[in-house]
Amino acid sequence: MTGVEIYIWTTCPFCIRAKKLLDSKGVDYTEYVLDGDEEGRAAMAERSNGRRSLPQIFIGDQHVGGCDDIHALDAEGKLDPMLAAIAQG
């Protein structure tokens, strides 16, 4: 699997903040809206080692976590190289 995937609730402020960061970097991502979708949320939790909080973000095959996690990666200078690696395929 390649690319960036984000599981969200439409009105979740943390989801909106995480998407803004990705948008600011010009990232194309696949968005899974889980509003009222318990099956989808269960599938997300299975992929994210049981984490049910939103958002949950995946870059390539790697689960990077939620909003605070992706912002921490960015602050540490680790996000851009991860995004560049998946852009190259």
What is the pLDDT confidence band of residue 50, given thresholds at 50, 70 and 90? Answer: very high
CATH 3.40.50.1000 fits 4-87, yes or no: no
Domain ranges within the chain, ordered by starting residue = 4-87
pLDDT digits (tens, 9 = 90+) for 22-41: 999 999 999 999 999 999 99
CB atoms within 10 A of CB 51: 14
Whole-model pTM over 0.85: yes
**Cβ 48 vs Cβ 56: under 8 Å:** yes
